[in-house]
Structure 1
Amino acid sequence: MFQGAGMFHPPSRNWLSPQGNSSGFIVKKTMRMDIPVDKYPNFNFVGRLLGPKGNSLKRVEANTDCRVLIRGRGSIKDAAKEELMRGKPGYEHLNEPLHLVIEAELPAEIIDIRLMQAREILDDMLKPVDESMDFFKKQQLRELAMLNGTLKDNSSQKSGSVSPFRNSMGMKRAKTRG
């Protein structure tokens, strides 16, 4: 794809797809998902979505090439700061119920698939589960213990890391003292 002087020149032969049926056009779409806080007022949806150090949400983003934003009342951790920001430009979403905004900027032929993948994953994360049966939360707690260096279980090497940031992505953990 070549862009020059503000004009779009479609490729004569498309390299994105072996069949050559890709349009090559990048499209931006957003999707909104409501979070059922009215139905489950005591459930910590934001914590479940974020996970340890935000890794659960980062994993969704890495796997789907979509950006996920938590918006609405309760989206800012500090309630006093949220109240202070309410009504200011860029914070209009704080007047709405808690929700997610899923954004993607991808080739036209895959954007809908990626948005639906993100929606399905997030749908599963937003289903409150009894703690004794909550595999997802157990994985998050295990990951948190690994990040904190407090994991006592020796079987962690068998299961591997649940972090989306494997060495192949070139990201490393921050160095800590000690």
Structure 2
Amino acid sequence: MAENGMRVGGGASGADVGDYSNGNHEHELGQETLKGATRLNETAQKYMQELLAERSRMENHFPLAVKLIDEALERIQLNGRIPTREQYADVYQQRTIRLSQKVHVPIKDKKFNYVGKLLGPKGNSLRRLQEETQCKIVILGRFSMKDRVREEELRNSADAKYAHLNLPLHVEVSTVAPPAEAYARIAYALAEIRRYLIPDKHDDIRQEQFRELMEDPEAAKKITIRQQQQQQQQEPSSKRVRLSGPPGPGQQQQQVQQTQDFHHQQQQQQMMFNQQQNFQQRF
């Protein structure tokens, strides 16, 4: 086991290497199970059920024991089996290892939607991030599901698949590769994920997500309708152009045209602002 929470699993078969396209988490796809999760053998599943049963009985009385049980559940979920001994990396023969690292997701700034920024429109940002880093990236923990009621039900279900809902909100990054390559992939993924955790609503990532959203006709139509409804509820905030002196017929027509152009420009600016606000609220 490596330092700072980095976990190393045993050697994996070649069929497991590079399968990172199914790491989308349930907040994105609305599913009840995580695709691409480590498969548990029958013995490990039974052991996890026993651990969860004991955890539910001692949760309010033995907090330290509960913490140890949570750590054991994490190790089993990572490796897919009951851990027996510390694993070593074979760099000479370049045997593949399964490497995993949890990343804390800040929740102090409640006005910023970190999960939405990580996912992007229809989960496309997370998919691209997985393809670029060659890592499986999954959003787990408390508040990782969009449906809070459903999340609470699953948290209390004592199902081993949802044991992660008892943990704080986090991102789990994992990969399967030869040792040096695996650590390089994880390092690259951590650097990229940090960019998504910066609470900036107007950075390059957000701007690209907004442009991508507007390219979707259905999503753009919804934003436009919502923006028009907001404009109807708001009174015009633009200042009227003052006319000085009694204008002649030509001057009056010119000033009316200038006033209309001014109002049109203000409406366009307000429309862009409202679209940005709607996008930030949606994601």
When normalised by structure 1's length, the TM-score is 0.67
Secondary structure of the residue aligned to 2:210 is helix
- Quick one: distance in 2 between partners of 1:48 and 1:111? 25
Structure 1 or 2: more strand by fraction: 1
Superposition pairs of residues 20-35 of structure 1, within 5 angstroms: 23-35=93-105
- TM-superposed CA distance for 1:62, in Å, is 0.1
Number of the residue aligned with 2:129: 60
Deviations 1:33-78 (A, max 9, x none): 00010x2122111100000111111111000110001011111111
Contact 1:23/1:108 (<8 A) preserved: no
- TM-superposed CA distance for 1:95, in Å, is 1.5
What RMSD in Å do the two structures reach over aligned CA positions? Answer: 2.0
Contact 1:33/1:101 (<8 A) preserved: yes
- TM-superposed CA distance for 1:145, in Å, is 1.6
1:137–1:22 distance in 2 versus 1, CA, 3 Å: farther
* Counterpart amino acid of residue 99 in structure 1: H
* Counterpart amino acid of residue 206 in structure 2: K
Aligned counterpart for 2:110 among listed residues 9, 31, 41: 41
Instruction: Select the structure of larger CA radius of gyration.
Output: 2
Number of the residue aligned with 2:217: 148
Contact 1:28/1:103 (<8 A) preserved: yes
Secondary structure of the residue aligned to 2:112 is coil
Aligned length: 129
Secondary structure of the residue aligned to 1:29 is strand
- Quick one: distance in 1 between partners of 2:192 and 2:113? 17
Number of the residue aligned with 1:101: 172
- Quick one: distance in 1 between partners of 2:100 and 2:127? 17
In structure 2, the gaps of 5 or more residues are: 1-12, 14-90, 222-283
Is 1:121 the counterpart of 2:198 in the alignment?
no
- Quick one: distance in 1 between partners of 2:105 and 2:125? 16
Number of the residue aligned with 2:87: none
* Counterpart amino acid of residue 190 in structure 2: R
When normalised by structure 2's length, the TM-score is 0.43
* Counterpart amino acid of residue 104 in structure 2: D
Structure 1 or 2: more helix by fraction: 2
- Quick one: distance in 2 between partners of 1:64 and 1:22? 24
Secondary structure of the residue aligned to 2:199 is coil
